[in-house]
Structure 1
Amino acid sequence: MGHDNPFVITISRQLGSGGAYIGQQLAKKLDMYYADNEIINKAANKFSMEESHLASRDEKLQSIWHSFLQFSAFSSDKYIPSDVMDPTSRELYETETEIIRHIAKEHSAVIIGRCGFHILREYSNRVSIFLYGDKSFRVQRIQQIYEISDKEAEEMILQSDKERALYINTFTGKKWSDICNYDLAINTGKIGVDNAVELILDYVKFKQ
């Protein structure tokens, strides 16, 4: 593996599989830059939007109705409220792509989600990880993190899986859960999130 560029780990994850925790631990142990919220921050600054609003759209496609309203704003004299004029899903994806490539150029980093495995697929000094888990394990984690019922946690997981799969397929043409897209796929429900961290660290040492 070449070392002309900073080293990057991309993490694709199912909701509740421990992606944020694992990414933070890897960044800490490897003394690497952790890129998650900053991607949203930089994109929000570009579009002059509130971070919280942009975060609610992260890794999701706009509804057909929302896209129609945006198109109508440019194609007619009708008044469209300013809060409707968000960037399109394509514009947001392209902006986050630029941000991710810039981060990978400037820092050794752990990059969470946002099609990082695809955006940096030709980046030589990279390891791509996919984290997944049994539904019961993920439901339990989400229920504890957000202090919600099991049913609410299950609904969150089902919705997130559906939205992420559609988003990634739309912009990469790939199936999100296809392990051929990644160097390493880990069922965190089977080995636990802390053991997953150690497994990835061992894999990184092996690759280097």
Structure 2
Amino acid sequence: MGRMKNTFPFVITISRQLGAGGAYIGQQLAKKLSIFYADREIIGQAARKLSVMEEELEPRDEKSLSLWQFLIQSCACTPETSYIPPQITVPSDRELFKTESEIITRIAQEHSTVIIGRCGSYILREHPNHVSMFLHGDLSFRKSRIQKIYHVSENVAEKMIVQSDEERSQYHYKFTGKDWADARQYGLSVNTGRTGVDKTVDCILTYLELIKVRDCIP
């Protein structure tokens, strides 16, 4: 990759396995580079545009609708009563993806930013100042981090990881037609279990220097 066009904002997109430290690493990169960090901001803007509560979109983060819709419908059932719950308008997967794609594209046009997940690497694949990366780690490393972060048992941590990996993989394939964990899609792939999350930040900053990206950051 050559020198980037410094007339465009600079964007890092991070795809990550659960427990690999993606959110922490993204926040640290944004802080050290003095650029915008976009994660919950995307959910907030999508919720406002779709006229739903943020809490309604959070459970669908990089997941397809089916399970979430089932849970909503289950909770809405009140057998043996005459009460009929109000109709819940649920945006489809396509509607949500289209909305989040528009938001991600707009943010990338307006700010130098770090964007977490949501097929950002695919959505911004034509962006001239875009560096995509995939953060992964072995199961034992990720289980240990999840146990500490969420205060859960090793068994629960493993179930969370397996479920998250499957959901993110299916979501990514549904909207991109590509294998989420295929390193060939990304500019940089890092095993954070080998480097540690803080050293991964240093590794990425060094990589940005090598490809002359930091020259593009205001």
Fold shared per TM-score above 0.5:
yes
For residue 163 of structure 1, the aligned residue among 144, 151, 167 is 167
Q: Write the distance in 2 (CA, Å) between the matches of 1:177 and 1:164.
A: 10
**Runs ≥4 in structure 1, deviation > 6 angstroms?**
none
- 1:91 Cα offset (Å): 0.4
- 1:80 Cα offset (Å): 8.0
Per the alignment, residue 133 of structure 2 pairs with: 129
What number of residue pairs does the alignment pair up?
198
Q: Does 1:25 align with 2:28?
A: yes
Q: Write the distance in 1 (CA, Å) between the matches of 2:15 and 2:136.
A: 9
- 1:2 Cα offset (Å): 1.5
Percent identical across equivalent pairs? 58
- 1:66 Cα offset (Å): 3.9
Q: Write the distance in 2 (CA, Å) between the matches of 1:12 and 1:171.
A: 14
Per the alignment, residue 74 of structure 1 pairs with: none
Q: Write the distance in 2 (CA, Å) between the matches of 1:108 and 1:66.
A: 35
For residue 182 of structure 1, the aligned residue among 171, 182, 186 is 186
Structure 2 unaligned segments of length 5 or more: list them: 74-83, 213-218
Per the alignment, residue 5 of structure 1 pairs with: 8
TM-score (norm 1): 0.91
Change (3 A) 1:45 1:143: same
Q: Write the distance in 2 (CA, Å) between the matches of 1:143 and 1:49.
A: 32
TM-score (norm 2): 0.87
- 1:64 Cα offset (Å): 7.7
Change (3 A) 1:65 1:118: closer
Q: Write the distance in 2 (CA, Å) between the matches of 1:114 and 1:48.
A: 20
> Which amino acid in the other structure matches residue 107 of structure 1?
H
Q: Write the distance in 2 (CA, Å) between the matches of 1:99 and 1:109.
A: 13
